[in-house]
Structure 1
Amino acid sequence: MEVHRRRAEREGAFPTHAFSTGLILTLLLGAWAAHALEMSTGKIPFLVAVNGSTVLLPCTYASCIGIKNLYFNWQFNANGTMEKLCESTIPYEGVEPHVSVFHERVEFVGNTPSNNISILLANITFEDDGEYTCFGRNPKEKFKNHSAIFTLSVVDELRVVDNTLTIIIASAVGGGIALLMGFMLLKNLTIFVLAKMEEKNKECLVTSSGIDNTENGLSGSKGDSKATPKKK
């Protein structure tokens, strides 16, 4: 088998060196990816807001290998043209950056100790409707780019959701469950009552049988204890 394996390797059937190199590279890339910078705009990366209101555009970052001179910015996709809203560089973790703001209605409200680089957008208009990109680049990762998108939808007024059908369905389901529970309770109560009645009937039969036996025994005793007639 060893001879066949070596022959197969020589013929290229088992490129062990290439396989080992590929495996090592894959593991290294996987380990590197696990420590990569991550940008996040939250579990719900979208918002529907009323025209004229002020909204929070959330963004946080995380890196297992730490940061140094982390560059970040916010950009707005204005009909295909990326408009920069603000930018800054965080020298080290926990150091508050000096943020340059390029939009009059934008305010940086982030907090570096909590890895928060969120912004406020005041007095929104229908022109603010669209995608906002939170961008980050960490020199520790050889300037690899990372980003996350937050979508803002601007409306005249928030629609009132008609929950009538949902309420009807919930009521029907709740009523069905209550009816089933009532039926099971009545069934268990009926079984309990019948069991008690059967137990009582058994006790009555045993008691009645004991009384009959006692009376029969007394009658026999009286018959046996009659005096023998005297001889004349």
Structure 2
Amino acid sequence: MSPEAWLPQPTLFLTGLSLLLSQAPTGLSMEVMAPTTINALNGSSVKLSCTFNSCYKVENKQFSLNWTYQECRNCSEELFLQFRMKIMNKQLERFGNRVEFTGNPTKYDVSFTLKNVQLEDEGTYNCYVLNPPDRQRGHASISLKVLTKEPPKHDSTVAVIVGASVGGFLAVVILVLVVVKCVRRKKQQRLNTDDQKTEEEGKTDGEGNPDEGTK
């Protein structure tokens, strides 16, 4: 079996559905997408995938990314990977040089690969993304589970076919939702700009020649 991460096949449909519901456009925050859980074999390399949708082109001068690690639910977050003009690896002692950024922000991909996975790497990995003019940063979390042996093999042909069909449908739905959100956001920005201009013109008219009112 490939050393890449895998998702349990019986939960494939539910995972896709939960992603659809959780990534539907809300407010002004960005849509950040990542698998809820990833299983990795001890000693292997695993890609922790995180992608995002934005109405705007990524500009390195404004774009920001934070990857943090939480050992437990109530533990503090540890920053280990950051993007500020360029990618910066914080070289946390727990990871050493095992973290490699394998994403491409200009393609809305901020994934990274964790090499030589250890049992101590289990925990929650948080992906935070902000792409101005988006006002609120988006967030997604991945729970990493480290396995000491491969799960039993089984025939998952049907699950793969169903998963592929559902995945394609979800991708189309999410794309439509993002397009609708972008159109609404840009329309709202134009309305805000027009309101501001109208208010400024009103102030200018109110400051006219005072002699005109006595004629």
Q: What is the TM-score of this pair, normalised by structure 2?
A: 0.51
**Among 108, 113, 116, the residue aligned to 2:109:** 116
**Among 141, 146, 149, the residue aligned to 2:141:** 149
1:75 has 2:75 as partner = no
**Among 47, 50, 64, the residue aligned to 1:59:** 50
- What does residue 9 of structure 2 align with? none
- What does residue 126 of structure 2 align with? 133
**Among 87, 90, 93, the residue aligned to 1:99:** 87
Three-state SS of the structure 1 residue aligned to 2:133 is helix
Q: Distance in 2 between matches of 1:107 and 1:162?
A: 32
Q: Distance in 2 between matches of 1:77 and 1:121?
A: 15
2:32–2:51 CA contact under 8 A, matched in 1: yes
Q: What is the aligned length?
A: 123
How far residue 138 of structure 1 moved from its aligned partner, in angstroms, is: 3.1
- What does residue 160 of structure 1 align with? 152
Q: Distance in 2 between matches of 1:48 and 1:119?
A: 15
Tell me: higher relative CO, structure 1 or 2? Use CA pairs within 8 A at least 6 residues apart: 2
1:207-222 mapped onto 2 (5 Å cutoff): none
1:50 has 2:45 as partner = no
Which of the pair is proportionally richer in helix?
1
Q: Distance in 2 between matches of 1:72 and 1:50?
A: 27
Rg comparison, structure with higher value: 1
One-letter amino acid of the structure 2 residue matched with residue 50 of structure 1: L
How far residue 162 of structure 1 moved from its aligned partner, in angstroms, is: 6.6
2:47–2:114 CA contact under 8 A, matched in 1: yes
How far residue 141 of structure 1 moved from its aligned partner, in angstroms, is: 3.0
Q: Percent identical across equivalent pairs?
A: 27
Note the residue ranges of structure 1 that are not aligned, 5 or more in a row.
1-31, 90-96, 164-232
Three-state SS of the structure 1 residue aligned to 2:82 is strand
Q: Distance in 1 between matches of 2:132 and 2:55?
A: 14
Compared CA separation, residues 67 and 113, structure 1 to 2 (3 A)? closer
Q: Distance in 2 between matches of 1:37 and 1:122?
A: 29
How far residue 36 of structure 1 moved from its aligned partner, in angstroms, is: 4.1
Compared CA separation, residues 56 and 84, structure 1 to 2 (3 A)? same
2:56–2:131 CA contact under 8 A, matched in 1: no
1:35–1:63 CA contact under 8 A, matched in 2: no
How far residue 109 of structure 1 moved from its aligned partner, in angstroms, is: 0.8
1:67–1:140 CA contact under 8 A, matched in 2: no
How far residue 102 of structure 1 moved from its aligned partner, in angstroms, is: 1.5
**Among 75, 81, 89, the residue aligned to 1:86:** 81
1:181-216 CA distances to partner (integer Å, 9 max, x unpaired)?
xxxxxxxxxxxxxxxxxxxxxxxxxxxxxxxxxxxx
1:13-56 CA distances to partner (integer Å, 9 max, x unpaired)?
xxxxxxxxxxxxxxxxxxx9466421111xx4322111111100
Q: What is the TM-score of this pair, normalised by structure 1?
A: 0.47
Q: What's the RMSD between the two structures over aligned residues?
A: 2.5
Note the residue ranges of structure 2 that are not aligned, 5 or more in a row.
1-24, 92-96, 156-215
- What does residue 192 of structure 1 align with? none
